[in-house]
Structure formats: C-alpha cells, structure tokens
Structure 1
Amino acid sequence: MKKSLNELKELAKICRGDIIKMTTVAKSGHPGGSMSSIDMYLSVFNLANIDPKNPYDYKRDRVVISHGHTSPGVYSALSRLGFLNPDEVIAGFRHSGSIFEGHITRGIPGIEWTTGNLGQGLSAGVGMALASKITGNNYHVFVLHSDGEAPKGQIAEARRTAKKENLNNLTVLVDYNDIQISGRARDVLYVDLFKEYESAGWNIIEVDGHDFEQLFNAIEEAKNYKLGPTVIIAKTIIGKGVSFMENRHEYHGAPLNDVEADKALKELGVENDIEKYKEMRKTLPLLRKKLEFDDYVITADAGTPITYTKEDKVDNRGAFGNAIADLAKINKGKIVAVDCDLKPSVKLGKFEKVSPETYVQIGIQEHNAATIAGAMSVCGVIPFFADFGVFGLDETFNQQRLNDINHTNLKTAVTHCGIDIGEDGKTHHEINYIGIVRSFFDTKLIVPADPNQTDRAVRYAASTLGNVVIAMGRSKIPVILDENGNPYFGETYEFEYGKMDILRKGEKLTILTHGSVAYKAVKVADKLKKEGINISVINVSAPLEFDASRISEYIDNSHIIIYEDHNKYNGLMVEFSKSVVENRLSPLSVENLGIDNYSPSGNNENLFKIFGLDEDSLYEKIKEKINK
C-alpha cells in the first residue's frame, strides 16, 4: 500500500531516528548524508513500481543508489515501507553477522546494485534502462547520487550515453546538500550541476529535497517526460532534522555518541531505545549466511560451432566476431554487444548487421561501458563487452571489480592481448590479463589457442552463468591440427572450462602454453619430432584453473617450459608453482618464458625474438634442456 504525503512526513521523522540509532549502535556509519537523502529515498521507493511482497519481479522498477555510504537512510526507508525488518536493520547495521553492510548490497530487497565506489551508479542505471528497452519490459529506472561525487568523469560519460539513447525511462535525483568530507562541496571542487546536465541535453527539475509534495510532483513529471532522461536536482541540508548536525560536514561519516544520540532523538521526538538494539546486537552470529535472492540472469542457446580448416587464415578476434553474430541470430534480442568505438578492431561489424537493435555504441568511454554492460547482464540480456585488453581490463579494473562484487553475468571479450599486437607499443600491449582476473573471486578467464577454440569458448561463455573474460591476440594464426592433420578443436571438440588440451604427447619435456603462441609451440614440437625428439605440448586455456594433478605424468621428472605472451611474473607460472607445490610434484627444471619488461614498438615477430618467444628461440631452449 502506497503512503500518503502526511504518512511519509511522519515516516521521515522515524527514519531519521533509525539512522541515529543504527550508526550509534554500530559506532560507525554516515548519518549526515543519510538524513539529507532520506526524504528522497522515501519518495522514490514509495512511488516506484516495486512490491515489498514480490521485490524481485523482473518487471519491477529499478532503484540504484550511487552514494552507497548513505546505507542507513536506504535501509531505514526500505524497512519503514515494508521491505525489511526495522529491528534487524538497526541492531545489525555494519555487523559481520548481518546483511546490512556499511555500503548497500545487491540482493537486499529493493537494492539493485552494490555501491560505494562513487561515480558508478549512473552508469549502472543507464545499463538497466537500456535493458528495459531491449527486453520490452518497460520498467523505469531511478538513480540517486550525491553532489560530492558529481565531479567524477564516469558520471559525465553516463549522462551523454543516456541522452544519446533517449532513455526517457531514466530519472536521476541528486542530493545537493553542498557538503562532503572536507567541507563545502563548492570549496572542494565546484560543479554547476544544472549546467552539467543541461549541456548533456537532459530535462531538469529543481526542488526542495525535503518537500514531499515537490518531490512527488517532480517524480511524476519525470516519469511522463518522453523526450529523454530527467534529472531532479534536490537542494537538501546534511543532518536535516537535528539542529546541531545540520550543515556540519563533521557528521558526514561520524556517528553520534550515546549522549549526542539521546539529545538528537529527543529533538526528533523519537523514543530512545538504543539499549535494546545493543543487546540484540550481542546475539548476532559472527558471520551471516550467504545472501540468496531471485536473480534475472539468463543463458543462451550455444548453437552449432563453426569449424575452421587448415586452409583458413583467421584471427581469434575474427572467430569471436563470427561466433557472437551467429549467437545473435539464434538468440533473438538476448545477446548484446557493447562497443567503445572499436567495431572494426574487435570484429563487431557482422553483429551490428545481424542485430542492430542490440548493438550498443558507447564511444570512447570505457569506464562507463564496463559498468553499463555489467548492469545490463542482471536484467535479462547477455552482454558482451568487447574492447582492447588494456582498456577492457587494465583501465576498467575498478569497474570490473564492482561487476565481480555484484555477481553479474557479463562476458568481456578483450582483443589485442600480448606483444602480438606489435607496432602499437607498450601502452597497448595487454600483458597482465591473467594477473588482473586473478584478483577477482567470481570471474572466469579463457585464453583460447586458435580460432576453433575461440568459437567454442564464446559459445560456452554465452551459455554459462557468471562473469567470463575471453582474452585474444590480434594476428591471424593457423588452425592447430592434431597429429593426423585434422583440426584439434574440430567437430568433436567440446569446450570444458579448466580442462587442459594435450596437443602433442612426448617425454622428458613439457611446454605449458596458451593463446596466440600455442601454435608456435606445436610447430616446434613437430619439427623436433622429425629429429626423433618427442616433447609434450599442453594448452592451458583456463590458466586460473590450472591443476597440476590432472597432468602429473607430464610434470614429474620432466623439464617444464612455461611459454606465454604475457607478463612472466604474474602469468601461468604463478598458478603452476602453486599447484605443483600443493600436489607435491617434482619437475626436473622449470623455465619461464614470457615478457619481463615493457616492449618497444615493432613487428610482432621481431618483438617475439627480443623476448625469446619466437620459434627459433624456443627450439634452441628445448635442445639445450634435453642435451644437458
């Protein structure tokens, strides 16, 4: 049941009391901003199409809170509107045995995105609003952000995208209290909020952020505006409702002590029952249970793989482009490609022709694109964020980390990995893709060895839940053949995450490799075979799942060469060393061939020679090992 304006006014007073209580009980938190935003939270959650009895309905409106530190306000508003238990919120706030963390957490009823890293919420809202239009579910998206985070560049990126895509199903509310940690926002770094949004072409409404009637009318006007997105700039007062807290930046992130809390609650006319909550807090478990909720993520029909023959000259990125276009044909309206002005380079041209309605051009705005794609993935579509490796992983590490925290269903396809891209030079050589993805807890990494394995890896990613990164080089490479001259990853091959491929069987020496140099290892092995020397070549397409026990017979009492177009200090060697120790295996020797410094520009074959990754250097290294 929706609340009347008078009921909201009464709830606002109670919620301010809740904010004081929970931060005092926890002895930490952000009461000031929560009290300036609370009237907006009550207004939005009250008017939005979200049912406390069915909070995960896939057609519900979405509310994204970008300034996640105002969680006390969010939790109190949701609890007083029937989504949560107020006692559990107040007693459990910021306790490890409670779901009510210091920054809001996705999966709590009413909360759509885990935030705290300021500046990303608007991009998440744009992604959800785009998904609303693509799926035809026609829900509205509300984003609330603070004026303190307004200088963030990603917010500007998101504003431009929202206007370009005519997201008339997106409404932003800005808490304009002119206060942040260090003092007045205007003194820290002035931002003209009106002109910023005006220059991006948004519809703008200005209101008193503590006047429920003005907020109600503005939200209704925004929902009915058809010419693009709307921003409601709400002028507020930090610490609103408690005289000694108002307009004081000291209360941004400082809770009240018991004496101050008692004084504040009396001023609000709210009962001081803090001791009750302190006692409840003592009974909480050390660690809470995992947060379970209904998620709107989907998988794709993988279709029939494309098999390339030995006559085909295809780069892995080209195989990716062909596969994603084929997936779009099979899964109408479900596969989305998110591009950052790299369509020819990441091979999305075919996809755009096949599915123009799900091809999203973000422009040169990688941070924005990574968050948009992540947010879309939890709204009933399967996005592939395609980018160069240094942009899609290195540059967007924080955004990808937040996607990982949010347990999204994003597929990231990064091309131009390794020194394989040659002349572009060190600023564009992505040589850290294993090390970066290793930092995440819920993201898989696939480094396919040739076009056939790439095709099957893309189909696997689309048909599997969870975040997947696929790392590819730039150059056209040969199809890897088995010892009978047939495509190794051909008609009968099925991609299995974590499985290692025995490309060549031998003895005494094993090469562990992946990606765009794997075919070189096979060529060297075949050359040595003609000389009567048989070595093993094993493709490790999922380096982060390396398990030495699966191939122990190729490691024990063998010389090992790690051979990869990657930073040698954070690549496959790390996983190999860890697993060999864990499994108590005893290789005769280990040679780590990879990149040990930033590379100059140049032809990729010359660069491979510089770092000892060319076929001749590999051949000589093997002969040296065997002849010792």
Structure 2
Amino acid sequence: MIQLATPAILKELQRKAALSRGDIVAMTYLAGSGHPGGSMSSIDIYTILYNLIDPNLDQVVVSHGHTSPGVYSALARSGRFDPKQVIKGFRRVGSVFEGHVEPTVPGVPWGTGNLGQGLSVAAGLAMAARLHEKKSDIFVVMGDGEQQKGQIVEARRFIKKYELNNVTVIVDFNGLQISGDCCQVMPQDLKAEYETAGFKVIEVDGHDYAALYSAIAKASSDKSQPYCLLARTVMGKGVSFMENKAKYHGSPVAATDIEQALKELELEWPLEELKRLRSEPLDENIPEHSWPFPEISQGAARLYARDVKTDNRSAFGAALLDVALLNADRPLAVFDCDLAGSVKTDGFAKAFPERFFQVGIAEHNAVVMAGALASQNCVGVFADFGMFGIDETYNQQRLNGVNATHMKQFCTHVGIDVGEDGKTHQCIDYLGLMRNIPDYKVIVPCDPNETDRATRYALTTPGNVLVAMGRSKLPVITAEDGTEFFGGHEWTYGQAHHFRNGSKATVFALGAMSGPALEAWETLKAKGLDVAVIGVSCPFAIAAAEIEAASSRGPVFVVEDHLSMSGLAAQLAYQAALMGLRLEIVPMGATGFPPSGPSGDCYAKLGLDSAGIAQTIENRLK
C-alpha cells in the first residue's frame, strides 16, 4: 500500500527529483553513453514510488531497463545508497550500476533491458505474493514504445484472467522512441487496449506531483481491478534543448552543450569533482546475488519394473504430483500453455487447481512469469513442447539466466521422436541453445526411472534446470544382470551411466537414444565386437575422466537425436579440446532438418535405429 503523502512531502519529493535530473545528465555525460531522455521523463514516477512504497512488501519492476540512470538516482535519493557512488560507477566495469537495471542493485527486483518483459515479471511477482498470502502492490513502469510488443498483450490477458488486481502499470508516455514519434512508428490506442483487457485506465500528467500521487494512491487502494496509469511525460524534461527530442533517448548531452544544460539543472556537486571521482578506481564490493529457494522434500523414488513400457513424460507427471502432494504446504506452481494432457501436468492440475495456471498459447509470457515467481522463494514450473518452450522462447530463457532464477522447465516432444509432425516441431537444437546460458543445468533422461529421479532433483535443487524428454514410450533400461539400472543407487547430477562395458570403442548415447544403442550393443556383441555403452543424461557436466577413459578405448561414437554440430558430439569435442586430448569422434546424429514420418522410420532414415547404429560401428571397427 502506498504511503500517505502530504503537500509538504510531495514538495520534498519534487526537490529530490530536481537533484536526480542533475545526476542523470551528469552520469550519462561523464560515461559518454546512456539513456538520459527517458530517465528524465520518468524520474517523477520513480521518485514517488521509491519514496512512498513499503519496501518490505511492495515491488517496482522497471520494464524499460535503459532508464537505469533515473532508477539508480531515485533509489539513491530515497536513501538506499550514496548518489555519488552511482555517478562514480555508472557503466563502469566493477560497479553494480550497469547500463541497464540489474537485481544486484538494492531495490531492483529484476534485470531488464530487452523490452516488453516487465509486465510478465509483474504478473509472476504478483502470483508469488498470492501464494505467500502477502498483500503486496506490484508496480511496473514501462515505456510507451515497448507497448508494441506482443508479449505485453499476453501478460495483460493473464493478469485479468487471474484477477491480479495488485498490479499497477505506469506507462512513461513521452510519445517518442528511437525512430521518432511513437504514433508514426506504430500507431496504438493504449487507453483502448488496456481497457479492453480489463484494466482501469487513468490518464495523468506525469510531472504533476499531486495528480500523479493521487492516481497511484487510487490504484493502490482499489483492488477491484488492475490499473494502468498513462502518465503523459516529456522526454528530456528539465533541460529545454533536450525536451521532446528523440535524439536523447540514447545519447548523452554533448560536450558543447553540457554547460548550458547545467545552468538549467540542480547538480549537487561541481562537474569537475565528479569527473575526478570517475577517474578513481572502483572499490565496490559487489555481493553474490541469489534468490531464496524453499526447502522441498524429494520423497521416495518410484521404480518402473523392467517389463513396464511407458514414456518419460508420464514418469515426469507422476513424480511432479508425488513431490507436490508431499510438499502440499509449500509454494509450488505450474504454468501450462494449452498442453497439460500432452506434457502430463494434468494430474497436478486436478490435485492443485489453485496452483495450476493455464496461460494459453502464450509461451513468452509463461516463461518469464515462471522465472519471476521462482525468484520469490517459490518453485516455478513451466512445462511445454521443446520447440515452443525452448526454441521459441530463447530470449526469455536467457533473461531468466541473467536474473539467476530457480525456474524448473520440463519440455517434452524433443528430438526426432515427434516424427510425423515434421521439421517445425522436431526440436533438434535445444542443447545448442541452452549451452549458451551460463549455469543452466540440462538433463535428458535415459528412461522413465531416470526421469522420475531427475524430476525430483530438479524440483528440489536451486537454480535453473531443464529436463528434456521425447514423446514415445521407452523400455526400462536394465543392467547386465537384468535388474533395473536406475533402481539401486542414488541419482547424481553429472554422473555418466555405464550400461555396458567394452574395450574396443565407446558409445556415448544421449538420453533416450540409450535404448537403441543398447540394442545395437547386443548385435555387435554377437559379432565379437566389444564396445562400451555409456548413457549421458547431463551433457554439460560430463566428467573429464569419462572422456579420457573413452579416448583410451578407441573411437567414440556419439548417438543423439539432435544436430551433431551443436549437441553432445560438439560438447565432447569442446571438452576434449580444452583437455588437450585427441578424441576420435564419430558423430551419429542429425545433420540437417529430419524428414516427416513415423519416428521409427525417421530414425532408420538417419541411421539412428539400432540396426543403423550397429552397422556404423561395425563398419568403422572392421
């Protein structure tokens, strides 16, 4: 709830904003880069919010993260830290005050920069507050140009559907973007769009403190519907030659104009003093940023007997429900995109309808919401098909990586296994994408028993985790003595699975490709060809000792229903190169987009069925 503000308090806030305008121009000028225009148009919004919210309950999401100069100065002027430190460190290596807002800065709940993300973040934070039964206000400050992005429409619908009436949108409506007039770039009727989406819209002068505060207070007190405040502002407000100039969206004041700008501003310190300050080395102690993660019990693993044939996605759905039932008092939520029956989250949906959120066909919004919720001491689960949940939403996945969330992503229908659906649905590049996001764990289970254990691990372990599965039913993998391979030992992330021993060569099989690789082993054994078969379910965490041992055995055959150039074969080659190790790799994966047809036929066409695998190995070894 926004605090009560008297006319005297509002006058003091105006004074703070005047000082902030000086900070903004000075820091961008001295850095030689930055975004002063939007920072100056939105500084009055930031000043009211950061001084009048309850920082222990409420959150301010900044969607147009390039207005960081305004955010940093307003937070500093509200007492969070020294404004001089902001000017000293802005856009310098070794400072938390980066070019776009980051959560390492106290008071910033989410790092943004790529536009259109903030409203989805706000929805995720609002849903987390609901799970925790916290009466929080979630404000999201957005630019007007970014309203052109479709993800915002997705987020608006979700907010209305789930009555997240503690969300207030404040649009910095200065009418300009990089290319000029917003209405010329892409005409929009924002008032009509938000009203149609179920928001109460208030149009207000974004520089009139009494009017702006009144609108914010109204939105904060009325929980009958979400609000959108269209705050009419002036880009570059406070410096006459900067006002209403699109140029200053992303350009600091030139050296020839800085003296004139300072005459119109209230800069607290001489510019030369600040210039000397920026020449000093930085001595900031940047804290290790991490979000809280709840304690969740894994429960007892299920055992699928060797005569059971089921699919990994069903094993995931069962394990998810097991963990949820065991931790019924913990904040665990699932986001679905119209695929609950296929990705097997329908069991959870029936048991926990209040924690199952049907987002519709809106994957970009779903990924960001799940990530934001997962930053608030909740378990945020997102389940989808591989093509939609990974390929289509890579930008949003990367944003979750940047913000170091704890999102748990379970994607089914990866690889060539979706056969008949063809090229647009065969997700054969997911490893190549996810390897680019630092610290993102990826698990590709070999069979239903490993899927059960991987699911329990993912749900109870901090950090971003992807569990990737195919569509079809699989045999349960057994050890040489016929017992269920994953039934007798604790599952550990990164552990390679030695299914069969051999001395002449090594077969590394990615996930579900372990099944046909083991069938090929039987064929090769009958012909006297002695090869080891190792299942790899954690392709980004293969131990160096495994690679070294494989190199000593001879050729390394890498079986995967993924593009070899960016999948397991590529990862092994990269690691071997770092080790200075010569590794003779025989890639056995996709080399282009596979054909459409029954999955068995597709595998056979690419030589990835058991017969094709055995033949390739035999040809090389004989």
TM range (shorter): over 0.9
Residue identity in the other structure for 1:552:
E
Query: Which residue of the partner structure matches residue 15 of structure 2?
Result: 10
* Alignment correspondent of 2:574: 578
Residues 581 and 251 from structure 1, CA distance in 2 versus in 1: closer, same or farther, beyond 3 angstroms? closer
* Secondary structure in 2 matching 1:543: coil
**Is 1:253 the equivalent of 2:250?**
yes
Given candidates 40, 43, 46, the residue that maps to 1:38 is 43
Residues in 2 aligned to 1:550 and 1:537: alpha-carbon distance in whole angstroms: 12
Once residues 284 and 518 of structure 2 are traced to their aligned partners in structure 1, the CA distance between those partners, rounded to angstroms, is: 50
CA contact (8 A) 2:510 2:568 kept: no
Please state how far the C-alpha of 1:16 moved relative to its aligned partner. Answer: 0.6
State the distance in 1 between where 2:615 and 2:177 align.
62
- SS in structure 2 at match of 1:413: strand
| Secondary structure at the counterpart of residue 196 of structure 1 | helix
Contact between 2:104 and 2:286, CA under 8 Å: does it hold in 1? no
- TM-superposed CA distance for 1:192, in Å, is 0.8
The whole-number CA distance in structure 2 between the counterparts of 1:170 and 1:210 is 22
For the Cα contact (< 8 Å) 2:445–2:451, is it kept in 1? yes
For residues 37 and 455 of structure 1, do their structure 2 counterparts lie closer, same or farther at Cα, with a shift above 3 Å needed?
same
SS at match of 2:600: helix
Match of 1:228 among 225, 228, 237: 225
Q: Under a length normalisation based on structure 1, what TM-score does the superposition of the two structures give?
A: 0.95
- Residue range with higher mean Cα deviation, 400-409 or 296-305: 296-305
Unpaired runs of 5+ in structure 2? none
Question: How far did residue 222 of structure 1 move?
Answer: 0.8
TM-superposed deviation, 1:601: 1.4
Matches within 5 A, 1:295-444: 295-332=291-328, 333-444=330-441
Matches within 5 A, 1:129-528: 129-271=126-268, 273-285=270-282, 289-293=285-289, 295-332=291-328, 333-490=330-487, 492-528=488-524
Q: Using the alignment, how far apart are the partners of 1:47 and 1:421 within structure 2?
A: 53
Superposed displacement of residue 584, structure 1: 4.0
Tell me the CA shift for residue 17 of structure 1: 0.8
The Cα of 1:137 is off from its aligned counterpart by 2.0
Please state how far the C-alpha of 1:549 moved relative to its aligned partner. 2.2
CA 1:508–1:355: 2 relative to 1, 3 Å: same
Cα distance in 2 for partners of 1:97, 1:418 equals 41
| Equivalent residues of 2:19, 2:268 under 8 A apart | no
Report SS of the residue matched to 2:146: coil
Contact 2:291 2:377 (8 Å CA) reproduced: no
Separation of aligned partners in 2, 1:487 and 1:174? 58
Q: Give the drift of 1:557.
A: 3.9
Aligned equivalent of 1:126, options 93, 103, 123: 123
Cα 1:447–1:289 shift into 2, 3 Å: farther
The 1-side partners of 2:427 and 2:391 are apart by 8
In 1: Cα distance, 2:429 partner to 2:109 partner: 31
Amino acid at match of 1:208: D
RMSD: 1.6
- Please list the CA deviations of residues 288-313 of structure 1 after superposition, one character each: whole Å capped at 9, or x if unmatched: 65433563333421111111111222
Tell me if the contact between 1:2 and 1:46 (Cα under 8 Å) persists in the aligned partners: no
In the alignment, which of 82, 87, 102 is matched to residue 85 of structure 1?
Answer: 82
* 2:600 is the counterpart of 1:596: no
Q: Provide, for residues 99-150 of structure 1, a one-character-per-residue CA deviation record: whole Å limited to 9, x for no partner.
A: 1011011121110110110001110111000111112122211100010101
Contact 2:64–2:142 (8 Å) recurs in 1: yes
Matched, 1:612 2:607: yes
Say whether the 8 Å CA contact 2:116–2:151 is kept in structure 1: yes
Query: Over residues 532-587 of structure 1, what are the superposed CA-to-partner deviations in whole Å (9 max), with x where a residue is unaligned?
Result: 44321001111112234235333214121100110111011112112223334445
SS of residue paired to 2:466:
strand
In the superposition, the TM-score normalised over structure 2's length comes to 0.96
- TM-aligned CA deviation for residue 206 of structure 1: 1.2
Q: CA deviation at 1:251?
A: 1.1
How many Å separate the matches in 2 of 1:270 and 1:108? 23
Q: Secondary structure at the match of 1:241?
A: coil
Aligned length: 616
**DSSP-derived class of the 2:94 partner:** coil
Return the match for 2:620 from 609, 622, 625. Answer: 625
Query: Does the CA-based 8 Å contact 2:529-2:618 persist in structure 1?
Result: no
Q: Which shifted more, 244-253 or 268-277?
A: 268-277
- The one-letter amino acid of 2:23's match is D
Residue 549 of structure 1 corresponds to 545
In structure 2, the CA distance between the partners of 1:504 and 1:543, relative to structure 1 (3 Å rule), is same
Q: Distance in 2 between matches of 1:288 and 1:513?
A: 47
Partners of 1:602 and 1:404 lie apart in 2 by 35
Q: Secondary structure, in 3 states, of the residue corresponding to 1:408? A: coil
Deviations 1:184-233 (A, max 9, x none): 11111111110110111111111110011111111111112222211111
Alignment-mate amino acid for residue 399 of structure 1: Q
C-alpha separation in 1, matches of 2:52 and 2:115: 25
Match of 2:561 among 558, 562, 565: 565
Where does structure 1 lack aligned partners over 5 or more consecutive residues?
51-56
> The residue matched to 1:268 in structure 2 has which SS?
coil
Task: Assess if the C-alpha contact under 8 Å between 2:320 and 2:455 holds in 1.
Answer: yes
- Alpha-carbon distance in structure 1 between the residues aligned to 2:261 and 2:580: 63
Rounded to whole Å, the distance in 1 between the matches of 2:269 and 2:530 is 80
Of 511-520 and 330-339, more deviation after overlay is shown by 330-339
What is the CA–CA distance in structure 2 between the aligned matches of 1:513 and 1:251, rounded to whole Å? 54
Conserved 8 A contact 1:265-1:272: no
Aligned partners of 1:240, 1:114: CA distance in 2, in Å?
Answer: 25
| Matched residue type, 1:304 | A
Q: Secondary structure at the match of 2:296?
A: coil
Distance (whole Å) between structure 2 residues aligned to residue 579 and residue 272 of structure 1: 53
SS in 1 for 2:411: strand
The one-letter amino acid paired with 1:25 is L
Contact (CA 8 Å) 1:328, 1:334: kept in 2 or not?
Answer: no
The structural deviation recorded for 1:528 is: 3.1
